[in-house]
Amino acid sequence: MTTLFYVFAALAVGSAALCILQRSPVSAALWLVSTMFSLAVIFVLLDAQFIAAIQVLVYAGAVMVLFLFVIMLLNLGHASSDMRGPSALAAAVVIVGLLSIELVTLWRYTPARLAQEISQAPAGLTDPSAIFMGGQIAQEEAAARGIVGGIAVPLFQQYLVPFEITSILLLAAIVGAVVLAKRKV
């Protein structure tokens, strides 16, 4: 399982790098689809099968098809190079370097270490699930109600109001997209 994770992590990083380096927007979009599929596999490895399914359906399916649709509608398939100049490259190297140093320190975090730092648990702690009960409860819930049921119960009870607000957001987005894309207002 760990090997599989590293294979797909390498695939995701490689596809993402190719996505930002490709000259043609169509190939950039297709490499991004490859990144999203690799991420879906990693979601499955992390026991989030429902999230993996909607990752493939919503991101790799709907959103990227929308992107490809617009690229082809605007006839941008064979664009010339649009990389910024050397000054922007230097700025990007500095900013991305600092950001990645900052973020990659997260690599050191294992559940045991996180548990130790949050609760000052004894150093010999080996079973982090003794402190993080939430994950254990969620796993039992998923085992009892199925994978989708384990997500549906909190979504339609604890988070019902945000869920309803999301529907208003989507309605506003539909109206906005139609109005903006219309030829004459």
Partner 1 sequence: MLLGPVLGLSAILFSIGVAGVLLRRNVIIVFMCVELMLNAVNLTFVAFSQLYGASGYIMVFFVMTVAAAEAAVGLAIILAIFRHKLSVDLQNINLLRG
* Alpha-carbon gap, residue 127 to 146, rounded angstroms: 25
Of how many residues is the chain composed? 185
Residue 134 in contact with partner 1, rule: CB under 8 A: yes
Residue type for position 125: L
8 Å CB contact between 77 and 24: yes
37 sits near partner 1 (criterion: CB under 8 A): no
Which of 29, 19, 60, 65 shows the shortest CA–CA distance to 43?
60
* CB 102, min distance to partner 1, A: 8
119 binding partner 1? (CB under 8 A): no
The answer to whether 32 touches 16, Cβ cutoff 8 Å, is yes
**Cβ of residue 6: shortest distance to partner 1, in angstroms?**
8
Q: Is 58 in the site for partner 1 (CB under 8 A)?
A: yes
Q: How many residues bind partner 1 (CB under 8 A)?
A: 85
* Residue of 20, 72, 143, 144 that binds partner 1 (CB under 8 A): 20
Residues 60-79 that bind partner 1 (CB under 8 A): 62-63, 66-67, 70-71, 73-74, 76, 79
Supply the minimum distance, in Å, between the C-beta of residue 99 and partner 1: 5
Under the criterion CB under 8 A, does residue 160 sit at the interface with partner 1? no
- Member of 86, 108, 122, 126 binding partner 1 (CB under 8 A): 108
Does 41 interact with partner 1 (rule: CB under 8 A)? no
> What span, in angstroms and rounded, lies between the C-alpha atoms of 109 and 66?
37
Structure tokens, 159: 């988070």
116 binds partner 1 (CB under 8 A): no
Give the nearest distance from C-beta 120 to partner 1 in angstroms.
17
CA distance 8 to 41: 7
Please say whether the dihedral angle defined by the alpha carbons of residues 16, 18, 23 and 29, taken in this order, is positive or negative: negative
